[in-house]
A and B are shown apart, each in its own frame.
Chain A
């Protein structure tokens, strides 16, 4: 998918520039993008290192685990099909907590564990179960409390108040997750 789109972007861009007599733009952009990519990498790096350090402390101290336990209480309402106390609930909540802290890479292993665990409950092994789809909706609507990377990018481009997006993002993400879950339930009824 990415392969096709990437090629498509470049081909369309260059051909359009050739037709509109804009080839200089392309020459500039080829050199410019290298500089931008390197600048960006160097500026995200320290912020990322800092945040991964803090996150490690939260993980080792057992804070992430404790928050996950609190969350699995709420999850009973979102996943009525999962039996009480099933281990998939704890994987799902660990995944959500990691996502909230902006730790995409830490969230993925928990997500995969959650899927395995949900597969055990699944009656048709080649077909997605209702709980699996609900879990995916929770993931794709992106419940993030601290969007670390975005904040560091905003800093890099001289934002007056880089963290000003945090609170609005929380409001938007919770509203859209809520609506997403409703859509999920409606689609589950229809299918």
Chain B
């Protein structure tokens, strides 16, 4: 399928382009890969904190009891939807707990992958970007951002339900 071709083709293209431009590909690769140490050190505490909190919440079954009335959205996905606009690492942690309980390939696993892949951390981006230039009146931007997330989630659900 097309999906399995995209990554090899991107890698091939990047390397060929770099060799034509006379970039020392090996050295550059190593330099880039080194940056992952920093990222992983920052990531671990956030992951631990969130996996801890989300596991307690989901295993207590309260979500299923409380949100059972929203039949359009599967219960298992609700913690992901709540956390996704707020924090990237947290939603990643929730995604892990979903994969662990339901596997990555079923209805729930695929839906969670789509939602994580097609939305972003609206609150975080809003705070960071507007904060950096001193904007205080954000007008309709929060609504626009959250509606865009909601559209992504809705299309993801439709896509998994009808195409998978």
Contacts from A to B (Cβ < 8 Å):
1-2, 5-6, 9-10, 12-14, 16-17, 20, 22, 25-26, 28-30, 32-34, 36-38, 40-41, 44-45, 48-50, 52-63, 104-105, 108, 111-112, 115-116, 118-119, 124-128, 132-133, 135-137, 139-142, 144-147, 149-151, 153-154, 156-169, 171-173, 175-177, 179-180, 183-184, 187-188, 190-191
**20 interchain pairs, CB-CB under 8 A:** A9-B56, A12-B60, A28-B59, A29-B59, A37-B47, A48-B39, A52-B35, A57-B15, A57-B28, A61-B18, A124-B137, A126-B136, A132-B141, A140-B145, A150-B117, A166-B3, A168-B159, A171-B159, A179-B148, A190-B140
Residue pair B140, A136 in contact (C-beta under 8 Å): no
Residue in A14, A40, A188 whose beta carbon sits within 8 Å of that of B60 in the complex? A14
Q: Shortest Cβ distance from B109 into chain A, in angstroms?
A: 8
Interface size of B by Cβ–Cβ distance < 8 Å?
101
B140 to A187, Cβ gap below 8 A? yes
Q: How far is the CB of A43 from chain B (nearest CB, A)?
A: 10
CB–CB B119/A142 < 8 A: yes
Residue of B nearest to A17 (CB): B60
- Do residues B21 and A62 form an inter-chain contact, with CB atoms below 8 A? yes
Closest A residue to B130 by CB, please name it: A128
Complex alpha-carbon distance, A153 and B93, angstroms: 10
Does the CB pair B31–A180 fall under 8 Å?
A: no
Minimum C-beta distance from A117 to chain B (A): 9
> What is the CA–CA distance of A177 and B155 in the complex, to the nearest angstrom?
11
The reply to whether the CB of B75 lies closer than 8 angstroms to some CB of chain A is no
Q: Is the CB of A165 within 8 A of B110?
A: yes
Q: A165: which B residues are within 8 A, CB to CB?
A: 3, 110, 113-114, 117
B contact residues vs A (CB 8 Å cutoff): 1-4, 6-7, 10-11, 14-15, 17-18, 21, 23, 25, 28-36, 39-40, 43-44, 47-62, 79, 82-83, 85-88, 90, 92-93, 95-97, 99-100, 103-105, 109-110, 113-114, 116-123, 125-126, 128-130, 132-141, 143-145, 147-149, 151-152, 155-156, 159, 163
The CA-CA distance from A133 to B117 in the complex, in Å, is 22
Does the CB pair B33–A34 fall under 8 Å?
no
CB pair A168 B114 closer than 8 Å: yes
* B92 partner residues in chain A, CB cutoff 8 A: 149, 153
Q: Give 18 new A-B contacts, CB below 8 A, not counting A30-B52, A115-B129.
A: A22-B61, A28-B59, A34-B48, A36-B96, A40-B47, A48-B36, A53-B31, A56-B31, A60-B18, A133-B144, A135-B129, A136-B126, A156-B99, A157-B100, A159-B103, A173-B152, A177-B148, A187-B140
Instruction: Name the distance in Å between A103's Cβ and chain B's nearest Cβ.
Output: 10
CB of A128 within 8 A of CB of B48, answer no
**B56 A180 Cβ-Cβ under 8 A:** no
Partner of A54, one of B32, B82, B117: B32
Specify which chain A residues have a CB less than 8 angstroms from the CB of B3 in the assembled complex.
161, 163-168
The reply to whether B117 and A169 contact each other, CB–CB distance below 8 Å, is yes
A17 neighbours in B (Cβ, 8 Å):
56, 59-60
- Are A147 and B141 in contact, CB atoms less than 8 angstroms apart? no
Please provide the 5 A-B residue pairs with the shortest distance between their CB atoms, ordered closest to farther: A56-B32, A180-B148, A13-B56, A61-B18, A49-B36
Q: Are B147 and A183 in contact (CB under 8 A)?
A: yes
The docked-state distance in angstroms from the alpha carbon of A131 to that of B149 is 19
